[in-house]
Chain A
Amino acid sequence: MDRSSHPRSRRFAPVIAVAAAAALTLAGCSSSSGGKKSEEGAANASAGKATTPRMTVALVTHQAPGDTFWDTVRKGAEAAAAKDNIKLIYSADPNAGNQANLVQTAIDQKVDGIAVTLAKPDAMKGVIGKADKAGIPVVGLNSGLSDWKQFNMLEFFGQDESVAGEAFGKKLNEVGAKHALCVIQEQGNVGLTQRCDGVEKTFDGKLDVQNVNGADKPSVKSTLTAKLKQDSSIDYVVTLGAPFALTAVQSVSDAGSKAKVATFDLNKELIQAVKSGDIQFAVDQQPYLQGYLAVDGLWLYKNNGNYSGGGEQPVLTGPAFVDKSNVDKIAEFAAKGTR
């Protein structure tokens, strides 16, 4: 019965070969604009190199695969590790139970320090206690502002999502917004919900919330278009991540709406959009700084016994506003994908 399979499947070989040949033929035509060649080779931030003994630090986050924000956190951590002569072990899992297991593997490897996010604090409590018992210093970053001290952690680097939301709400008042739409790209995420709640707290106008499917851009786009058409009184769209802000700009134009777009968090393309005026402003919690300071904080503790934030207070990395007035300064760093 298998006799038919061989000649049949072979029929595809010429097809693929032809397509490949076509691709090669086309390879003659290179692009005269854009592309890698137009990018200047900018060096990453570096600040000499420590001669202290090599140590190992584990950074365990709740990153979902392919998220640009977390990639920036990781780059900050890597930069600090390179400078401090640290071997950095990065791991991540959005599922809280799996993330706790990853911390456990770091304890098993007897690392010299652990930096961890507390997106779901309850699930992490037990394993952080274990690290404490094993004498491994643990620092928090990004999420867990209300829990890090109770967990007996060393220090914390991040942004208070509620505070950032409140700052955002005040800014909306300043620019004269009346009716804003807060767009949540991941239904049920505590930090994102806190941001919208924070905006609502200080914003004088009306705030609606809209959930979208962040894993599917066409779906984000048409959902926002639908919402803007449904309610033409919306004059500001607030997104909670940079890629969604850029999609929201398309939705606004599709819906024929006059709404402006502002966002939390930055990336390379977003900086351009702020420059061109498509995006009004962005709240930056400086993810690079969070990763960098968390790793550097552990190094300082081990080598000099320092406590960032005095061991009492968190070290806040945001909210910093990026708008037309200061975007040019940031653009050169953002081109490297580190802002």
Chain B
Amino acid sequence: MSMTQQAEPAVTSPPVSGPGKEKDGRTQQRSLVLRLLARPEVGVFLGALAILVFFLIMAPTLRQGSSMSTVLYQSSTIGIMVLPVALLMIGGEFDLSSGVAPVASALTASMTAFELTLNVWVGVIAALVVSLAIGFFNGWLLVKTGLPSFLVTLGTFMGLQGVNLAVTKLVTGNVATDDISDMDGFDQAKALFASSFDVGGVNVKVTVLWWLAFAALATWVLLRTKYGNWIFAVGGNKDSARAVGVPVNFTKISLFVLVGFGAWFVGMHNLFQYNTVQSGEGVGNELIYIAAAVVGGCLLTGGYGTIIGPVFGAFMFGLVQLGIVYATWNPDWFKTFLGVMLVGATLVNLWVRKQATRR
């Protein structure tokens, strides 16, 4: 969808372009195709396309509209979280607590509403506060201590895992929350976070729309606003960014808060789709989010990347996970297929970019 909204990122570090960029004959002569291929999201687009064609051939069921809708749903629950994770990575940091953070959020909402017998929306807002606070804490600790984000968020990841379990057990007496589907406000909240509607006989989940809307918004912010420039700048080179007046600490902290927002949204979807939450869920998802962003062309070192790339990255994850099922391959090999296809897709992505940037 948002293919049309692309524009050159305002600040991209990798290709060193001298002051005479306009007059550099080399860039002028490169064909449109090559210039297109050099964009970070084109590689992943071609990779996703290749896998899509492959599975369309291998798995006849995937050709139905309803199957594609299932794939899009799977991609969207990954994809909504990948967006802030990708922004954070462009900003030079990453967040290992992003896998269990949605579970923490869903647990907060569910327990607040149930234990105090309040309208479900009170729980939803309490969860938002907690999620944003977790994000803020990550960012604040990072800029205060100067520790690498790997360490800070690893700590939060483990801490949250324990808190999720212990607090749930302490409050509810069980390790899963109680069913809140008969409480006031549940239906409205479900309509917002977990409803679905029919388009031409195909059932589409609302998360797919949210995913694309958030992606469009994130693309606009990244490419068209001052804040977007700040993200590229702090990810590219923190010290020079600070030297030219970019509020580095604000940018980094706010990016972590954005991840908190994403965690809240995904957590609310999980709660209102499934009515209860198990406190041990979510572990391992952080790596899927990071992988989808990397497959989508975001560098692990920061300062480079797009939003459309990670959108395709998340789509590729959803597609491979379900394509294997549609193709009825031996389930024992499930994870192996997943790993091979992902590394393969990333290599295609890399190769395309290399071909394009080489003269």
Stretch at the interface among A116-124, A158-166, A225-233: A225-233
Query: Which DSSP category, helix, strand, loop or mixed, fits chain A's interface?
Result: helix
Q: Is the CB of B279 within 8 A of A16?
A: no
Instruction: Pick the most buried of B67, B74, B253: most chain A CB atoms within 10 A of its CB.
Output: B74
Stretch at the interface among A27-35, A50-58, A131-139, A311-319: A27-35
Given the interface pairs A4-B250, A230-B61, the reply to whether A223 lies near B321 with Cβ below 8 Å is yes
Q: Is the CB of A218 within 8 A of B74?
A: yes
Q: Which residues of B contact A254 (CB under 8 A)?
A: 70, 203
Query: Which DSSP category, helix, strand, loop or mixed, fits chain B's interface?
Result: helix
Residue from B117, B119, B273 within 8 A of A36 (CB atoms): B117
Q: Is the CB of B334 within 8 A of A211?
A: yes
Interface hits, A149-207 → B, CB 8 Å: 184, 187
Q: Is the CB of B70 within 8 A of A229?
A: yes
Q: Is the CB of B122 within 8 A of A29?
A: yes
Q: Nearest Cβ distance between residue A204 and chain B, in whole angstroms?
A: 22
Residue from A19, A36, A213 within 8 A of B132 (CB atoms): A19
Interface hits, B267-282 → A, CB 8 Å: 269-270, 273-276, 278-282
> For the complex, is A330 an interface residue (Cβ under 8 Å from B)?
no
> For the complex, is B216 an interface residue (Cβ under 8 Å from A)?
no
Q: Considering the chains assembled together, what is the distance between the CA atoms of A221 and B325 in angstroms?
A: 12
Q: Considering the chains assembled together, what is the distance between the CA atoms of A255 and B70 in angstroms?
A: 9
> For the complex, is B161 an interface residue (Cβ under 8 Å from A)?
yes
Closest to B76 in A: A218
> For the complex, is B148 an interface residue (Cβ under 8 Å from A)?
no
Stretch at the interface among A59-67, A81-89, A140-148, A288-296: A59-67
Q: Nearest Cβ distance between residue A69 and chain B, in whole angstroms?
A: 9
Range class of the B interface residue count: 35 or more
Q: Which residues of B contact A210 (CB under 8 A)?
A: 325, 331
Q: Which residues of A contact B275 (CB under 8 A)?
A: 269
> For the complex, is B332 an interface residue (Cβ under 8 Å from A)?
yes
Q: Is the CB of B119 within 8 A of A216?
A: no
Q: Is the CB of B278 within 8 A of A243?
A: yes
Q: Is the CB of B326 within 8 A of A230?
A: yes
Q: Is the CB of A31 within 8 A of B117?
A: yes
Q: Is the CB of A4 within 8 A of B118?
A: no
> For the complex, is B159 an interface residue (Cβ under 8 Å from A)?
no
Q: Is the CB of A1 within 8 A of B326?
A: no
Given A71-B176, A211-B334, A218-B77, 9 further pairs, Cβ under 8 A? A4-B242, A15-B132, A27-B116, A32-B184, A65-B165, A226-B70, A230-B328, A255-B66, A267-B176
Contacts from A to B (Cβ < 8 Å): 1, 4-5, 8-9, 11-12, 15-16, 19-20, 22-23, 26-27, 29-39, 64-68, 70-71, 184, 187, 209-211, 213, 215-219, 221-223, 225-227, 229-231, 243, 246-247, 250, 254-256, 267-269, 272, 337
Query: Can you give 13 A-B contacts (C-beta < 8 A)?
Result: A8-B250, A9-B253, A29-B121, A31-B113, A34-B186, A39-B178, A66-B168, A209-B331, A229-B326, A230-B326, A250-B273, A250-B274, A268-B174
